[in-house]
Structure 1
């Protein structure tokens, strides 16, 4: 059972944060921009928008949402959500898209064309709180939640070869 305090904390943290960390049924959590509308976090993803692939966000499936504190930047609350994918041009879909259009930065087309593209090429999702928060200010874990970095062909820099001249420190003048 979600208390009124928990719902208020979820709503305020989602409204004030520019992005939320979402984890679906697979993969790792990913930061996604969103809007809070009508009791849910609304997201848009697909070609030309933020990617949902690899998260396992399916209609009727579970998700976990993490919100951060606006003033400190640390994790404030983590809550379970139920994923809903409204049908394009339905009343719920139109209301979510109207809110999302206002927050979409640097859209490549007009608002009407943007909504048309979202209806045909993208997914609009609503993540509604579905249970008691997993973490909140009085129940944060003490262990580090850091995940191992994903594998990459990039590597760290190697030491400077001894044949190259030593670099001076920036901001220091050479003494004579």
Structure 2
């Protein structure tokens, strides 16, 4: 059958992994991405996915917005130990249609020189990507 979708059965193991990803992403504001080299990135967990701002005056994550998938490593906020690794689907977010995502990221952005104007600056010069864990 063309266009058939294969759905992985929900098992206790992938439910546990999903819970570990959600908990790790909520507790730690940084993660590692496997790009041209391992890259550290700040992010926000929102609506079941990781969201990242890249480009402009924000973090440089070359090629992230052009990928279909990226390998992600979450580490413990307490001791830096690796919590969980997974692949994530990469989707560019339409900022105008996702004000809740922009607001979640702005809330997590530390030490911005222009906090009150982040959404406008990001719309002009940055890309927001959604990383949806593939478990």
TM-score by length of 2: 0.84
Name structure 2 gaps, 5 residues minimum: 1-7
State TM-score, norm by structure 1. 0.65
SS in 1 for 2:106: helix
Gaps of 5+ in 1: 132-176
Q: Which has the higher contact order (CA 8 A, sep 6+)?
A: 2
1:89 is aligned to: 96
Higher CA-based Rg: 1
- Residue 59 of structure 2: SS of its match in structure 1? coil
Q: How much has 1:72 moved relative to structure 2?
A: 3.0
8 Å Cα contact 2:65-2:129 kept in structure 1 = no
| SS class of match (1:89) | helix
Give the deviation of 1:110 after TM superposition. Answer: 4.1
Q: Which has the higher helix share?
A: 2
Deviation at 1:69, TM superposition (A): 2.0
Equivalenced residue count is 124
Kindly report structure 1 stretches of 4+ aligned residues shifted beyond 6 Å.
Answer: none
- Please list the CA deviations of residues 33-72 of structure 1 after superposition, one character each: whole Å capped at 9, or x if unmatched: 111111111111112111112xx31356110110012333
SS of the residue corresponding to residue 105 of structure 1 reads: coil
Larger strand proportion of the pair: 2
